[in-house]
Chain A
Amino acid sequence: MEPSFNINRPPVSDDEIEKHKNFDALVAQFKKQSLKKARGDESWWKKKSVQYSTVILGVTVVCTVTYQSIQNQNRTQTALKSTNESITTPHTPNTKTKRSRPYVAPKISSINKKKTAYKVNNQKGARIEHTGSTKIDVPKGAFVDAAGAEIIGEVTLEYREFDHLPDIIGAGIPMRHDSAGKTYHLESAGMFEIAANKDGVPVSLKKDLPISVDLASYNKEDRFYQYYLDTVNRNWRYLGADKPVIERSSSLPSSVRAPEIDQTQLTRRTDSVTGRYNAALAKLPSPKKPHQPQKHRAGRPTFVLESSYQEFPELAAFKNVIFEVGPENENYDPALHEVTWSDIKISEGPVKGKNYILHLSYRSRHVKLLVYPVLKGSDYENARAEYEDRMADYNSKLRERNENEERLKAELERKKAELAAAAKRDAAERIAKLTNESRASTRNQMSASVQARRLFQVTNFGIYNSDHPHQLETRSALQPQFVDSETSQSIEPETIYVIDHRRKTVITANDPSRLELPATQTSDYSMCAVRGEDIYTCDKNTLRTVLNAGRTTFPLRKISGGVANMKDFRKTLEL
C-alpha cells in the first residue's frame, strides 16, 4: 500500500489530546493483564516435582559455596603474609597486615606524575597559576612549623593534579570509599595533591589561613562532592558538596582564527539561484503590442500600391492600406501620380513601423517619398475595432507576465536572503565547533577553554578530590587465574585494576586472589595488572567475553617494553 502524502495537515489540538488521556484506564488494563498472566503460570509452581527439585538445587548450591569459601580462606591465610591489603576483605582497621602496607601505593615510577615545585615567600604570600589555569592563592603567613610558629622566608610548595583515571592509577591513589557500612567507588572530576616544606622539612598550615585552590576541571557536571584523603584512617573524608563554576567562554581561543562567511560558496549558490530565476523569466511569454491603425488625413495625397507586404507584417495586418505622402516631402509634385512608373518599392522608413520610403523609378528618373500607411473610411473603422480587441488581450497578457515576473523576483530575493542567513549561521556553527574542538584537544593544557572551576579550601596538606560516589554491585571471582595471552604461562600479578569506563572509576585489588568483578554488565570494563615494573592488560572485548562466559581465567597481554609515559599508559588502558 503506497503511503499517503499530506501537505499542511492541521495538527490535533491539545484539548483533543487531553480528552484521550486516561491514566486510570491504563493502570486497570495493566493490572488485568498482569493477573491474567499470573493465573496462567500458577499451576506450574504448584507441582510437587518442581518444589522438590528447587529444594535439592538450593541445598547443593549452599554446600558448594560453603566448600569453596573454606578453600579460599585456606589459600588466603598463606597469601596474606606478604601481599598488600585487599579492598575486598571486610574493613577491619585492626588488621596488622593492612597497616604495614602504604595506603597510597604507586606501582610504576614512569607513570607516577611528578610534583611541580613553587617557591613562596611566606611573608608575602603568592598567587600561583598552575599550567595557566588552576590558580592557587597562598595568603601571607600561611605556613607554620611543627610548633605553630610562622615560617620566615621561602617555602617550597609542591603541587600536582590528577585529571584522569590513568593519573590516579599511576599514583596508586585508592578510589574506594566506605561510608555507613556501604562501599563506594569514586569517579573523579578533578583531584590534586598539595604539600609544602622548608628546606626539606614538612610544614603545616595556620588554622585560619587556608590555601585556596581554584581547580580547573574538564568536567562541568554538578553531581560531585569534595573529599580529603585521610591516610591515617585510610579512607576518604567527606568535606561537602562541590559547586562548580561553569566557564562560559564564548570567544575562540586566540590560537584559532575565526571563520568568516564563505563568500565563494555563497556567491556560487546565489549565482545558481539567479540563473534559475533568469531561465524561468525567459520562459515567460512576451506578448506583442498590436500596431495602431492610422486614419487618412483629408486632403493629403496618397498612393495605392498593389503588394502583399510580406516583408512588413504590420502592413499585412491591415486590409486595404494606402500610403499617405508626408508634408515633409519638399520634392512632392502632384504630376507624379500621372507617371506610369516602371518600378515601385517600399522600404523601411526612419521610424520603424510608422513610416516608409516609397521608391518610384522610370528610366533614369528616381523619386523617393516619405509615406505613412493609413486607412480610409470603413477600412479604418474595422481596423480600429480589431486593434481595440487586440490591445485588451495584449494588456491582459502583459499584466500576467508582470505578475509572474514579480513573483519570480520576490522568490529570488527571498532565496538570496535565506542563503545569506544560512551562510551566516554556518559561520557561527563553525566557530562554535572550533571552540569545542579546541577545548577538547587542549584540556590537558587547561587554558581559557576549561569546562568549570572547582574551589577548594586547603586546611591540611594532602590529596583533595572532587568525586561522585558510585555504588557498584560486585561479586567475588572464585579462584581467579591470570595467564599470559601469548605464552599461556601463569602470571601472579601484585595488583589488579578493573576499570569501569562508563562510570570512570576503578576497582583496585591489591590481593588478586580476592578480585572483585562487576556483578552486572551495564558498562564497559577493562583490566590492568601490575607485577614489578611489568604491566599487563585485558581489553574491553576480551574481558566482556570472559565475564559473559562466567570464566575466572583472565588472559592478560603484556605491554612489552612497559609504558614510557602517561600518554602511552592512557592508550594502553583504552582511555
Chain B
Amino acid sequence: MAINPHFHHSNEQLREELKIIEAAKRDPEHFAPLYNKYYKQIFNYVYQRMESRESAFDVTGQVFLKALTHLGRYEYKGVPFGSWLYRIAHNEVMQLFRSKKERRAINADISDLRFLCEETESPFFEEYIPALKQLILQLSSQDLQMVEMRFFEKRPFREIAEILEITEVNAKVRMYRIIEKLKKSLSKVKV
C-alpha cells in the first residue's frame, strides 16, 4: 500500500511553514502559499465523504475561511499545518451530516476493498463486494472513519492520529479491533 506522500515534512519544510503561518497571523495576504499547498488535499478529503462535488467545493472554502479566522489560535506541535486543516475539515463535514444537510458518501476502489480483505486474511472475490459493502455500511461512524483513512485514503497511522486527535498507538489499537470485527463477519459470508 503506497503511503500518502503529502504528510511527511522535513524539519526544513516545517520551519518554512511556521514562518508563513506567523506572517499570515499578522497579514492574511500571506496565507496564500498555505492555501495553494493544501487546497487540493482538503478538497479530496471532503469529496471522499460527500456525494455532491459542488457541495464539496463549498465546504472546502469554508474550511479555509475558518482556518484564516482562527489562525491566531493555531499552535505549532511539530507536525504539518495540514493536520490542523484536516481537523477543521473533519468537523465541518460531520456537522453537515449531523444536520442532515448532506448525504454521507463512501468511496472506494476495487483495489482498496481487495486490500481490506487481505488485512482480514480473507480471500477476495468480486462476488464478495455486495456483502463487503454491507459490512462497511454497518460500521460505526468512528470505525468507518478509520477504515476510510487507512484503506481508502492510504494515510499513515501518525496522520490518522493527528486528524482524530488521538495517539498513534490508540489509532493502531482501534484499527486492529476493527479488522478483527470484519474478519469475523467476513468468515460467515457465503457467495
B68 A26 Cβ-Cβ under 8 A: yes
What 0/1 pattern do residues 128 to 142 of B give for CB contact below 8 A with A? 010001001100000
Q: Tell me the nearest residue of chain A to B12, going by C-beta.
A: A222
Q: How far is the CA of A551 from the CA of B39 in the complex (A)?
A: 45
Q: Report the separation of the CA atoms of residues A280 and B35 in the bound assembly, to the nearest whole angstrom.
A: 53
> A3 with B40: in contact, given A26-B68, A30-B65 (CB under 8 Å)?
no
Does A415 interact with chain B (Cβ within 8 Å)?
yes
Given known A20-B57, A422-B118, contact A30–B69 (CB-CB < 8 A) = yes
Interchain nearest-CB distance for A27 vs B (Å): 5
Q: Mark B112-132, 1 if CB is under 8 A from A, else 0.
A: 010000100101110001000
Q: Which residues of B contact A5 (CB under 8 A)?
A: 105-106, 108, 133, 136-137
Taking CB atoms and an 8 Å cut-off, the chain A residues in 411-461 that contact chain B are 411, 415, 418, 422
Tell me the minimal C-beta distance from A296 to chain B in angstroms: 50
Across-interface contacts of A1 in B (CB, < 8 A)? 100, 103-104
Chain B stretch 51-95: residues in CB contact (< 8 A) with chain A: 51, 53, 57, 60-61, 64-65, 68-69, 75
B110 near A273 with CB under 8 A, answer: no
User: Which chain B residue shows the least CB distance to A422?
Assistant: B118
Q: How far is the CA of A11 from the CA of B105 in the complex (A)?
A: 14
Question: Does residue B43 face the partner (Cβ distance < 8 Å to A)?
Answer: yes
Q: Is the CB of B28 within 8 A of A27?
A: yes
Question: What residues on A are CB-neighbors of B65 within 8 Å?
Answer: 26, 29-30, 33
A280 to B128, CA, bound (A): 13
The distance from the CB of A452 to the nearest CB of chain B, in whole angstroms, is 13
> Which of chain B's residues has its CB closest to A29's CB?
B65
Contact between B123 and A27, CB atoms less than 8 A apart: no
Cα distance, A27 to B65, chains bound together (Å): 8
Known contacts A26-B65, A276-B123; is-contact A21 B36 (Cβ 8 Å): yes
| Nearest neighbor of B119 in chain A, beta-carbon distance | A422
**Is A381's CB within 8 Å of the partner chain B?**
no
Q: When the two chains form their complex, are residues B109 and A8 in contact, meaning their CB atoms are under 8 A apart?
A: yes
Name the residue among A1, A14, A30 with the largest chain B CB count within 10 angstroms.
A30
Residues A30 and B51 in contact, CB atoms below 8 Å apart: no
- Which range contains the number of B residues in contact with the other chain? 35 or more
User: What is the bound-complex CA distance between A415 and B117, given in angstroms?
Assistant: 11
The residues of A that contact B108 with a CB separation of less than 8 Å are 5-7
A26 touches B118 (CB 8 A): no
Q: Is A9 an interface residue (CB 8 A)?
A: yes
Assuming A12-B53, A14-B40, is B105 touching A23 (CB within 8 A)?
Answer: no
Confirm or deny: A62 has a beta carbon within 8 angstroms of a beta carbon on chain B: no
Q: Which of B39, B104, B137 contacts A17 (CB 8 A)?
A: B39
The prevalent SS among residues of A at the interface is helix
Q: Is B151 an interface residue (CB 8 A)?
A: no
Q: Of B51, B109, B123, which contacts A415 at CB under 8 A?
A: B123
Q: Is the CB of B47 within 8 A of A222?
A: no
Name which residue of chain B comes closest to A8, CB basis. Answer: B109
Q: How far is the CA of A17 from the CA of B103 in the complex (A)?
A: 21
A486 at the interface (CB under 8 A from B): no
User: What separation, in Å, do the CA atoms of A488 and B43 have in the docked complex?
Assistant: 58
Tell me if B16 is interfacial: C-beta within 8 Å of chain A.
no
- Chain A residues 206 to 223 lying within 8 A of chain B, measured CB to CB, are 221-223
B107/A9 in contact, CB under 8 A:
yes
Residues in B whose Cβ lies below 8 Å from that of A272: 121, 123
Whether B32 sits at the interface, judged by CB under 8 Å, is yes
Report the minimal beta-carbon distance from A426 to chain B, rounded to whole angstroms.
Answer: 12
Q: Tell me whether B11 is interfacial, beta carbon within 8 Å.
A: yes
Contact partners of B104 in chain A: CB under 8 A: 1, 3-4
Q: For the complex, what is the distance from the CA of A369 to the CA of B79, rounded to whole Å?
A: 94
Q: Is the CB of B110 within 8 A of A4?
A: no
CB distance from B148 to the nearest CB of A (A): 11
Per-residue CB proximity of A128-139 to B under 8 Å, as 1/0? 000000000000
Inter-subunit contact A221/B11 (CB<8 Å):
yes
Contact A3 B39 (CB under 8 A): no
Chain B residues near A3 (CB-CB < 8 A): 103-106, 137
CA distance A415 to B191 in the complex (A): 18
Minimum distance in angstroms from A93 CB to a CB of chain B: 34
- A31-B28 CB under 8 A given contacts A8-B109, A23-B36: yes
Q: How far is the CB of B45 from chain A (nearest CB, A)?
A: 12
Of B29, B39, B137, which contacts A21 at CB under 8 A?
A: B39
Q: Within the assembled complex, what's the spacing in Å between the Cα atoms of A221 and B107?
A: 39
Contact, CB under 8 Å: B125 / A6:
no
What 0/1 readout, one digit per residue, does chain A (12-36) give for beta carbons within 8 Å of chain B? 1010010011010111011101100
CB pair A6–B39 under 8 Å, yes or no, is: no
For A222, the chain B residues whose CB sits under 8 A away are: 11
Contact present for A4 and B51 (CB under 8 Å):
yes
Tell me the minimal C-beta distance from A121 to chain B in angstroms. 43
- Please indicate the chain B residues that have their CB under 8 angstroms from the CB of A558 in the complex: none
Report the Cα distance A34→B113, complex, angstroms. 46
CA distance in complex: A31, B28 (Å) = 9
Q: Is A2 part of the contact surface with B, judged by Cβ < 8 Å?
A: yes
If A4-B51, A7-B109, A223-B11 touch, whether A33 touches B35 (CB-CB below 8 Å) is no
In whole Å, how far is B191's beta carbon from the nearest beta carbon of chain A?
A: 8
| Residues on B with beta carbons closer than 8 Å to the beta carbon of A17 | 39-40, 43
Whether A64 is near chain B, meaning CB under 8 Å from some CB there, is no
Residues of the B chain whose Cβ atoms lie less than 8 Å from the Cβ of A6? 105-108
Chain B: minimal CB distance from A561 (Å): 34
**CB-defined contacts of B129 to chain A, threshold 8 Å:** 7
User: Of all chain A residues, which has the CB nearest B43?
Assistant: A17
**A27 and chain B: residue at smallest CB distance:** B28
What residues of chain B lie closer than 8 Å to A25, measured between beta carbons? 61
A269: interface (CB < 8 Å):
yes
Taking the closest CB of chain B, its distance from the CB of A335, in whole angstroms, is: 65
Using Cβ atoms and an 8 Å threshold, which residues of chain A touch B118?
418, 422
Q: Per-residue 0/1 for A266-281: is the Cβ within 8 Å of any B Cβ (1 yes, 0 no)?
A: 0001001100100010
Chosen A-B contacts, 6 in total, with CB atoms closer than 8 Å, are: A7-B108, A12-B44, A17-B39, A20-B60, A25-B61, A280-B125
Residues of B within 8 A of A (CB): 11, 28-29, 31-32, 35-36, 39-40, 43-44, 47, 51, 53, 57, 60-61, 64-65, 68-69, 75, 100, 103-110, 113, 118, 121, 123-125, 129, 133, 136-137, 191
Can you name 17 extra interface pairs (CB under 8 A) apart from A23-B32, A411-B125? A1-B100, A4-B51, A4-B104, A5-B136, A7-B109, A8-B109, A12-B43, A12-B47, A17-B39, A17-B43, A23-B35, A23-B36, A27-B31, A30-B28, A33-B69, A34-B69, A411-B123
